[in-house]
Chains A and B, each alone.
Chain A
Amino acid sequence: MNTPITEDELHAHADGRLDAARQAEVEAWLSAHPERRAEVDAWRAQGALLHRQFDQVLDEPIPARFTALAVPSARPWFDARIAAALGGVMVGVLAGYLLRGQATMAPAMASLPRQAAVAHAVYVPEVRHPVEVGADQQAHLVTWLSKRLGSELKPPVLDSVGYQLVGGRLLPGDSQGVAQFMYENAAKSRLTLYVRPDTATVGSTGFRYARENGVDVFYWVDGRFGYALSGTTGREDMLRLATLVYRAPSPLRVIP
């Protein structure tokens, strides 16, 4: 005779965790016990219900703040030289990871990279008037732009990667003002960070990438704002910088 079937084995059967021989025995037993079969079927249906409800999370873009945790060289256990060697590879992997799921984009967000790239292209070549308020008047810059955008904004500090804040300006957006911060490094290479109040898409998204007229733009939504970092130093370098902007010690944050 067969060994008696335990309660645990019924669960293991529902979860497909029995070996083939035992599975056949349990199947045979269930044929003779329809009420228990109904129960096992119900357990399987629960599993299907859970998958139907939650599997969509697997397809959502990974929020930038998670992937930002995995930036090379910022982690003490990781040997700096290995980090340097792997850096390029990792950026590629990260980019691939971050950029999957580009298709699911809110329409409001779609205009963000183009607007940011246009603003970048217009003001970056300016020699005499690249910004309205210079970094030397940072307190005024912060107060002014915070007031105009309706939230306290502080430009992130990028000194660690050699970029100094040049200053900022206010630009017209679709319905209200948009802030643009400009940075420059020793090689006179300029970055702009475009910050647009975006009440339509509250929440957060992963990084997205666009190339607009030769300008590389990484953009994302965090809270009430859409952010776009534009530059021309190449996609990999821009991803590295965008990651830094996202996790800067004093990032732009809404303070209610």
Chain B
Amino acid sequence: MNARDALLAEIPRLRRYARALTGQAARADDLVQDTLERALAKWRFWQRERNLRPWLFAIMHNLHVDQCRMERIEYRPDDELPEVVQRAEQQDGLELRDLDRALDLLPLEQREVLLLVALEELSYADVAIALGIPQGTVMSRLARARTRLQQILNGERTALLKVVK
């Protein structure tokens, strides 16, 4: 398989991840395009023996973080955020209609790890490569992401029950 075939074969997965990460189809595809362009420009730096997929996800991660910074979308360490979702607030105004909304409520750092593990099914080692963090950090973010997503989803269910009643 030559370079271009290999890259083409990765496009659907890049799109799936970008869609889940950004929650917006158009923005996701822009991110995929930027990633492909960057990958092509940096192609000679890619070492054949290394896995293509984590390398591409790493490029996408860096681009996305840069974009978020430029747009001043928060990318702060999740420790600074309140650990528990404000459930009262959710029941009042915040109706979580779908998973997109729930993901959007996860801090970006947690969302990335969760999506790479649970959706893209990368190994923990590959997630560490893609995000440029130690594997221990992958595990701690994964644990927090899963706990928090569950809280959000439970909150959603509570809100829905309340509406039905």
Q: Indicate the size class of the contact surface on chain A.
A: 35 or more
Are A57 and B7 closer than 8 Å at their CB atoms?
no
> Are the C-beta atoms of A63 and B29 separated by less than 8 Å?
yes
Query: Contacting B2 at CB < 8 Å: which of A8, A58, A86, A94?
Result: A86
Q: Mark each residue of chain B from 1 to 19: 1 if its CB lies under 8 Å from any CB of chain A, else 0.
A: 0111101100111011001
**Cβ–Cβ contact A62 & B117, under 8 A:** no
Q: Count residues of B near A (Cβ-Cβ below 8 Å).
A: 39
CB within 8 A of B119: which of A8, A54, A60?
A54
> How does the 8 Å CB contact mask read for A195-221 relative to B, with 1 for contact and 0 for none?
000000000000000000000000000
Q: Which of A15, A57, A62, A77 contacts B43 (CB 8 A)?
A: A77
- Taking a contact as CB atoms under 8 Å apart, the answer to whether B146 and A57 are in contact is no
Q: How far is the CA of A2 from the CA of B153 in the complex (A)?
A: 34
- A112–B2 Cα distance when bound, in Å, is 34
Check: A47 CB closer than 8 A to any chain B CB.
yes
* Residue contact B99 to A11, C-beta cutoff 8 Å: no
Q: Are B118 and A46 in contact (CB under 8 A)?
A: yes
Contacts of B98 in A (CB 8 A): 53
Is there an interface contact between B20 and A50, defined as CB atoms closer than 8 Å?
Answer: yes
Take A58-B13, A62-B11 as given contacts and tell me if A49 and B143 are in contact as well, using a CB distance cutoff of 8 Å.
Answer: no
Contact between chains at A47 and B37 (CB < 8 Å): no
Closest chain B CB from A86 CB (angstroms): 7
Inter-subunit contact B139/A8 (CB<8 Å): yes
A70 touches B7 (CB 8 A): yes
Chain A contacts with B in 53-72, Cβ cutoff 8 A? 53-55, 57-58, 60, 62-63, 65-67, 69-70, 72
A51-B119, A70-B4 known; A57+B37 contact, CB < 8 A: no
B36: Cβ under 8 A from any A Cβ? yes
Contacts of B115 in A (CB 8 A): 50
Q: CB-CB contacts of B33-69 with A at 8 A, as 1s and 0s?
A: 1001100100110000000000000000000000000
Inter-chain contact B12/A54, CB cutoff 8 Å = no
Kindly report which residue of chain A lies nearest to residue B36, judged by CB atoms: A69
**Cβ of A66: which chain B residues have Cβ within 8 Å of it?**
11, 29, 32-33, 36
> How close is B92's CB to chain A, nearest CB, in angstroms?
25
The list of the 10 closest CB pairs from A to B, nearest first, reads A47-B118, A57-B16, A50-B119, A58-B12, A70-B4, A8-B139, A54-B20, A53-B99, A43-B146, A57-B19
